[in-house]
Structure 1
Amino acid sequence: MRARIRDTELYFDIEGMGLVPEGDRMVERPVGFLIHGGPGSDHSGFKPAFTPLAARMQLVYFDHRGQGRSATGDPARYTLDENVEDMEALRRHLGLGPIVSIGTSYGGMVAMAHAARYPEAVSHLVLIVTAAHGGFRPRAAEIVAARGTPAQQRMADMLWKGELDTEAKLRDFYDVMGPLYSLKYDAAAASRTRNRGILAPAALNRAFAPGGWMETYDLRPELARITAPTLILAGRHDWICPPEFSEEIHRLLPGSELHIFEDSSHSVRVDAPAAMIGAITGFLDRHGAAAPASSAA
């Protein structure tokens, strides 16, 4: 499905019922937005990892502008600020009240900024393997230098220099870097997932290339505006958004919950899928999100 919002068109998809029968009444379930990472990726990598959440809420997946199946446009507008405004415009376009906002990696950055700028729009916030400022980049470079193979070090250097300028190069990047992203890396499974997705080098380089917006990215001054109960998930062995950045967010958000998966890297949904879903549903239970309808159990 497509939504014409602001100056662009976003592709979105919906999983799960929003209105379900329970006894002699119909019960409206919460709506969760699943916010993909990158930049330069799409929502397809979330399927089917997040499907279990559809047992308790209606899920909305969408692709950021210039990425996936959403419309392309001026790459100068492939920024976090634009993605935040697009997300809020999509929520309003769909006629939704406060949402459960679930962002992974770059999607977590978008989710954080959205929850800070539109606190009334978010009932619950889940941040998965993310960072609140661009300091994760030099730290990631240190980790690759210490832990990466020569091929991985060359690929990371291409990322920082903005040289991943074709879809083929970006696919090569993920092929080489895969074992750093996941402790349970399966080359064949990862290839199938990538082949289903659409990669967008222009969006990636608008963030990571020299002069990109990621150089000045810093949400820390805004985090105090977040009012939603917040869960922060991290992978102990994450190379690109190391757990110290999740710990920092936790310190800056009093009352937030932090869970670090000891046997996971960046791709928690690959390394610890059941534990990830369990952590999210447990958090929603503790903080008053509607439980699944009994008839759907």
Structure 2
Amino acid sequence: MPTFTAPDGTDLAHHVRGDGEPLVVIPGGPMRASAYLGDLGGLGAHRRLHLLDLRGTGGSAPAADPGSYRCDRLVDDVEAFREHLGLERMDLLGHSAGGSLAALYAARHPERVSRLALITTAVRPLGLRATPEDRLAAARLRESEPWFDKAYPKLRAWLAGDAEYDDDFTPFFYGRWDTDAQAHAAAELEQTNEEACDLYYDGIETAVDPAALRAALTRLTAPVLLLAGGLDGGPSPELARRTAEAFPHATVAVQPGAGHYPWLDDPEAFTARLRAFLDGGR
């Protein structure tokens, strides 16, 4: 497992999968080890994936300063990762909460990004986040599922703040609730740094000014792809379209039948769309 050192001395790990031109990958969660990404549905057959374990996750050391788990402060780790890989410019992919970090990086270092793919991402530092109404509207698309009647009331209670998270509504985050999805979901708790998860966005509303971030993103000349799942409520396809407005050269694609992890729901469709974008399409 390759390692490198962050500017503050924290030892960080990353994983290499596949072969081809490099693609730097930032995981979501927030603060979930990159193992959950696998090889992104077979994308590793076409690209060399460099998957970063954020500090405090996977093989990376915990932070001495808990405040450094906040996503805007993690930008320096991503820049150190680029330097470690020896890339003048890089194709960059962020999933979910990792897309917020990728967008913050692109705003601070626009000249270092050649292409940016944001997968099921709403960039929260822009003031954009999924609402309970978004999530419930997406959930109602699953009314024909055998688990819906049990899961939906629990999801509604959780979103209202009246109940704790319940595994019974986890299927809403996946387009297909099959054995692969169940195994993927079961690994989440062990792969996630719960303390760091709570700190990832802590105070981000005051640390990052959305208007200033939008202004900084206007300097990004790289093509941007925002891929949304047709069954995902966080972000919904409409929220992905609103997010795209912050980028000068953005395209939105919706993968039908996909939830929050589209490479699991339809690997061939996901890989084909990402290959087309990374190889020069829009």
Q: How many residues end up aligned between the 2 structures?
A: 261
Aligned pairs for 1:61-140 within 5 A: 61-73=51-63, 74-133=65-124, 135-137=127-129, 139-140=130-131
* Percent of aligned positions that are identical: 31
Q: 1:123 to 1:129 in 2, by over 3 A?
A: same
Aligned pairs for 1:218-297 within 5 A: 218=210, 219-287=213-281
Alignment partner of 1:5 is 2:21? no
Moved more, 123-132 or 178-187: 178-187
Q: 1:239 to 1:119 in 2, by over 3 A?
A: same
Q: How large is the Cα RMSD of the aligned pairs? A: 2.8
Given that residues 29 and 192 in structure 2 are in contact (C-alpha distance below 8 angstroms), is that contact kept between their aligned partners in structure 1? no
Question: How far 1:130 sits from its partner (Å)?
Answer: 0.7
2-structure distance, mates of 1:54, 1:37: 18
TM-score normalised by length of structure 2: 0.81
Letter in 1 for 2:152: T
Question: How far 1:15 sits from its partner (Å)?
Answer: 1.8
Given that residues 5 and 80 in structure 2 are in contact (C-alpha distance below 8 angstroms), is that contact kept between their aligned partners in structure 1? no
Aligned pairs for 1:114-263 within 5 A: 114-133=105-124, 135-137=127-129, 139-144=130-135, 147=139, 149-156=152-159, 173=165, 175-186=167-178, 189-192=181-184, 194-195=186-187, 198-207=191-200, 212-216=202-206, 218=210, 219-263=213-257
Q: 1:241 to 1:133 in 2, by over 3 A?
A: same
Given that residues 221 and 248 in structure 2 are in contact (C-alpha distance below 8 angstroms), is that contact kept between their aligned partners in structure 1? no
Question: How far 1:188 sits from its partner (Å)?
Answer: 6.2
Corresponding residue SS for 1:247 = helix
Letter in 2 for 1:4: T
Q: 1:174 to 1:36 in 2, by over 3 A?
A: farther
Corresponding residue SS for 2:24 = strand
Which sections of structure 2, spanning at least 5 residues, go unmatched? 140-150
Q: 1:215 to 1:43 in 2, by over 3 A?
A: same
Q: Deviations over 1:14-33 (max 9, x none)?
A: 1234xxxxxxxxxxx53111
Q: 1:143 to 1:266 in 2, by over 3 A?
A: same
Corresponding residue SS for 1:124 = strand
Corresponding residue SS for 1:149 = helix
2-structure distance, mates of 1:232, 1:254: 13
1-structure distance, mates of 2:172, 2:205: 23
Which sections of structure 1, spanning at least 5 residues, go unmatched? 18-28, 164-172, 289-297
TM-score normalised by length of structure 1: 0.77
Question: How far 1:249 sits from its partner (Å)?
Answer: 2.8
